[in-house]
Amino acid sequence: MRKLLIFLAVAAVAMSIEAKTIVVYFSATGTTKAAAENIAKAEKATLWEIEAAEPYTDADLDWRNKQSRSSLEMNDPEARPTIKQCTNIMPYDTIFVGYPIWWGICPRIINSWIDNNLPQLEGKTLVPFATSGGSGVEQSVEYLRKTYPALTWQDGQLIGR
Ligand SMILES: Cc1cc2nc3c(=O)[nH]c(=O)nc-3n(C[C@H](O)[C@H](O)[C@H](O)COP(=O)(O)O)c2cc1C
Protein backbone atom coordinates (compact mmCIF):
# COMPACT_ATOMS: atom_id res chain seq x y z
CA MET A 1 0.00 0.00 0.00
CA ARG A 2 2.79 2.40 0.97
CA LYS A 3 4.62 1.58 -2.27
CA LEU A 4 1.46 2.28 -4.26
CA LEU A 5 0.99 5.65 -2.55
CA ILE A 6 4.60 6.60 -3.25
CA PHE A 7 4.17 5.53 -6.88
CA LEU A 8 1.01 7.62 -7.25
CA ALA A 9 2.66 10.63 -5.62
CA VAL A 10 5.66 10.39 -7.96
CA ALA A 11 3.37 9.98 -10.99
CA ALA A 12 1.32 13.00 -9.95
CA VAL A 13 4.46 15.15 -9.61
CA ALA A 14 5.78 13.88 -12.96
CA MET A 15 2.47 14.69 -14.63
CA SER A 16 2.31 18.16 -13.15
CA ILE A 17 5.80 19.11 -14.35
CA GLU A 18 5.33 17.51 -17.77
CA ALA A 19 5.15 20.18 -20.46
CA LYS A 20 1.58 20.33 -21.69
CA THR A 21 2.16 21.97 -24.98
CA ILE A 22 0.69 21.28 -28.39
CA VAL A 23 1.67 22.74 -31.74
CA VAL A 24 -1.40 23.09 -33.94
CA TYR A 25 -0.89 24.25 -37.50
CA PHE A 26 -2.36 24.61 -40.95
CA SER A 27 -0.09 24.41 -43.98
CA ALA A 28 -1.17 24.45 -47.61
CA THR A 29 2.20 23.87 -49.26
CA GLY A 30 4.47 22.52 -46.50
CA THR A 31 6.40 25.57 -45.28
CA THR A 32 4.45 26.07 -42.06
CA LYS A 33 4.44 22.29 -41.56
CA ALA A 34 8.27 22.28 -41.45
CA ALA A 35 8.28 25.21 -38.99
CA ALA A 36 5.69 23.45 -36.81
CA GLU A 37 7.73 20.25 -36.75
CA ASN A 38 10.80 22.20 -35.59
CA ILE A 39 8.87 23.96 -32.83
CA ALA A 40 7.29 20.70 -31.65
CA LYS A 41 10.71 19.07 -31.49
CA ALA A 42 12.25 21.98 -29.58
CA GLU A 43 9.30 22.22 -27.16
CA LYS A 44 8.87 18.44 -26.84
CA ALA A 45 5.28 19.14 -27.75
CA THR A 46 2.51 17.21 -29.43
CA LEU A 47 2.06 18.07 -33.11
CA TRP A 48 -1.36 18.43 -34.72
CA GLU A 49 -2.15 19.37 -38.30
CA ILE A 50 -5.38 21.19 -39.10
CA GLU A 51 -6.49 19.60 -42.36
CA ALA A 52 -9.24 20.95 -44.59
CA ALA A 53 -12.01 18.44 -45.23
CA GLU A 54 -11.61 19.48 -48.84
CA PRO A 55 -7.85 19.91 -49.48
CA TYR A 56 -6.68 23.09 -51.22
CA THR A 57 -5.59 22.60 -54.82
CA ASP A 58 -3.06 24.81 -56.61
CA ALA A 59 -5.98 26.56 -58.32
CA ASP A 60 -7.60 27.15 -54.91
CA LEU A 61 -4.43 28.89 -53.73
CA ASP A 62 -4.14 31.25 -56.72
CA TRP A 63 -4.14 34.64 -55.01
CA ARG A 64 -4.07 36.43 -58.38
CA ASN A 65 -7.48 34.98 -59.25
CA LYS A 66 -10.26 36.88 -57.47
CA GLN A 67 -12.57 33.88 -57.90
CA SER A 68 -10.20 31.25 -56.47
CA ARG A 69 -11.30 29.48 -53.30
CA SER A 70 -8.69 31.22 -51.13
CA SER A 71 -9.64 34.66 -52.53
CA LEU A 72 -13.34 34.02 -51.94
CA GLU A 73 -12.65 32.81 -48.39
CA MET A 74 -10.36 35.71 -47.53
CA ASN A 75 -12.86 38.20 -48.91
CA ASP A 76 -15.53 36.78 -46.62
CA PRO A 77 -14.79 37.36 -42.91
CA GLU A 78 -17.49 34.80 -42.03
CA ALA A 79 -16.01 32.00 -44.18
CA ARG A 80 -15.29 28.89 -42.09
CA PRO A 81 -13.85 26.07 -44.20
CA THR A 82 -14.67 22.66 -42.74
CA ILE A 83 -11.92 20.84 -40.87
CA LYS A 84 -11.37 17.10 -41.35
CA GLN A 85 -10.88 16.08 -37.70
CA CYS A 86 -11.33 17.75 -34.34
CA THR A 87 -8.47 18.31 -31.90
CA ASN A 88 -8.44 17.34 -28.21
CA ILE A 89 -6.97 20.45 -26.64
CA MET A 90 -8.15 19.68 -23.09
CA PRO A 91 -4.80 18.41 -21.73
CA TYR A 92 -2.77 21.38 -22.99
CA ASP A 93 -2.00 24.70 -21.29
CA THR A 94 0.08 26.21 -24.08
CA ILE A 95 -0.99 26.02 -27.70
CA PHE A 96 1.24 27.14 -30.54
CA VAL A 97 -1.00 28.10 -33.47
CA GLY A 98 0.76 28.14 -36.84
CA TYR A 99 -0.38 29.26 -40.27
CA PRO A 100 0.79 30.77 -43.56
CA ILE A 101 0.00 34.46 -43.95
CA TRP A 102 -2.85 34.87 -46.43
CA TRP A 103 -3.80 38.40 -47.40
CA GLY A 104 -1.90 39.72 -44.39
CA ILE A 105 -3.72 37.58 -41.81
CA CYS A 106 -4.40 33.93 -40.98
CA PRO A 107 -6.35 31.70 -43.38
CA ARG A 108 -10.04 31.37 -42.46
CA ILE A 109 -9.51 27.73 -41.55
CA ILE A 110 -7.73 29.00 -38.43
CA ASN A 111 -10.99 30.74 -37.51
CA SER A 112 -12.78 27.43 -38.10
CA TRP A 113 -10.39 25.70 -35.71
CA ILE A 114 -10.74 28.40 -33.04
CA ASP A 115 -14.54 28.48 -33.36
CA ASN A 116 -14.65 24.67 -33.08
CA ASN A 117 -12.64 24.82 -29.86
CA LEU A 118 -14.34 27.69 -28.07
CA PRO A 119 -14.81 28.04 -25.14
CA GLN A 120 -12.22 25.40 -24.14
CA LEU A 121 -9.46 27.69 -25.45
CA GLU A 122 -10.23 30.27 -22.78
CA GLY A 123 -7.54 30.40 -20.10
CA LYS A 124 -4.94 28.70 -22.28
CA THR A 125 -1.87 30.51 -23.62
CA LEU A 126 -1.98 30.84 -27.39
CA VAL A 127 1.29 31.45 -29.21
CA PRO A 128 0.84 32.37 -32.87
CA PHE A 129 3.55 31.69 -35.43
CA ALA A 130 3.49 32.09 -39.18
CA THR A 131 5.41 31.75 -42.40
CA SER A 132 4.96 34.17 -45.28
CA GLY A 133 6.31 35.43 -48.56
CA GLY A 134 7.49 38.59 -46.84
CA SER A 135 4.67 39.99 -44.69
CA GLY A 136 5.11 40.23 -40.94
CA VAL A 137 3.03 38.35 -38.37
CA GLU A 138 1.85 41.44 -36.44
CA GLN A 139 -1.28 42.20 -38.47
CA SER A 140 -2.45 38.61 -38.12
CA VAL A 141 -2.00 38.66 -34.35
CA GLU A 142 -3.84 41.98 -34.12
CA TYR A 143 -6.68 40.42 -36.11
CA LEU A 144 -6.79 37.36 -33.82
CA ARG A 145 -6.78 39.54 -30.70
CA LYS A 146 -9.62 41.68 -32.05
CA THR A 147 -11.67 38.72 -33.26
CA TYR A 148 -11.19 36.64 -30.10
CA PRO A 149 -10.69 39.11 -27.23
CA ALA A 150 -11.56 36.49 -24.60
CA LEU A 151 -8.51 34.42 -25.55
CA THR A 152 -4.95 34.95 -24.33
CA TRP A 153 -2.72 35.71 -27.32
CA GLN A 154 1.02 36.07 -26.97
CA ASP A 155 2.97 38.16 -29.47
CA GLY A 156 3.44 36.19 -32.66
CA GLN A 157 6.58 34.95 -34.29
CA LEU A 158 7.35 34.94 -38.00
CA ILE A 159 9.43 31.87 -38.83
CA GLY A 160 11.94 32.54 -41.60
CA ARG A 161 12.79 30.05 -44.28
C1 LIG B 1 -3.83 32.61 -50.95
C2 LIG B 1 -2.48 33.05 -50.48
C3 LIG B 1 -2.31 34.33 -49.98
C4 LIG B 1 -1.05 34.75 -49.55
N5 LIG B 1 -0.92 36.01 -49.01
C6 LIG B 1 0.29 36.42 -48.57
C7 LIG B 1 0.46 37.70 -47.98
O8 LIG B 1 -0.49 38.48 -47.82
N9 LIG B 1 1.72 38.06 -47.58
C10 LIG B 1 2.80 37.23 -47.73
O11 LIG B 1 3.90 37.60 -47.36
N12 LIG B 1 2.66 35.99 -48.25
C13 LIG B 1 1.44 35.55 -48.67
N14 LIG B 1 1.30 34.30 -49.18
C15 LIG B 1 2.47 33.40 -49.21
C16 LIG B 1 2.47 32.40 -48.04
O17 LIG B 1 2.22 33.04 -46.80
C18 LIG B 1 3.80 31.67 -47.92
O19 LIG B 1 4.16 31.09 -49.14
C20 LIG B 1 3.74 30.60 -46.82
O21 LIG B 1 5.04 30.32 -46.34
C22 LIG B 1 3.09 29.31 -47.29
O23 LIG B 1 2.99 28.41 -46.21
P24 LIG B 1 2.53 26.90 -46.38
O25 LIG B 1 3.53 26.24 -47.31
O26 LIG B 1 2.60 26.33 -45.01
O27 LIG B 1 1.15 26.91 -46.94
C28 LIG B 1 0.06 33.87 -49.63
C29 LIG B 1 -0.11 32.58 -50.16
C30 LIG B 1 -1.36 32.17 -50.58
C31 LIG B 1 -1.53 30.78 -51.12
Helix axes 138-147, 108-117, angle to 10 degrees: 40
pLDDT at 42: 97
Cβ(70) – ligand 1 distance below 6 Å: yes
Helix (H) or strand (E) holding 116: helix 108-117
> Which architecture, in CATH terms, is 20-158?
3-Layer(aba) Sandwich (3.40)
pLDDT at 3: 53
Cβ(141) – ligand 1 distance below 6 Å: no
pLDDT in tens, 64-78: 999 999 999 999 999
Beta bridge partners of 158: 130
Cβ(135) – ligand 1 distance below 6 Å: yes
**Regions of the chain where pLDDT drops below 70:** 1-19, 161
Atom from ligand 1 closest to the CA of residue 161: 21
Domain map (residue ranges) of the chain: 20-158
Helix (H) or strand (E) holding 110: helix 108-117
pTM recorded for the entire structure: 0.91
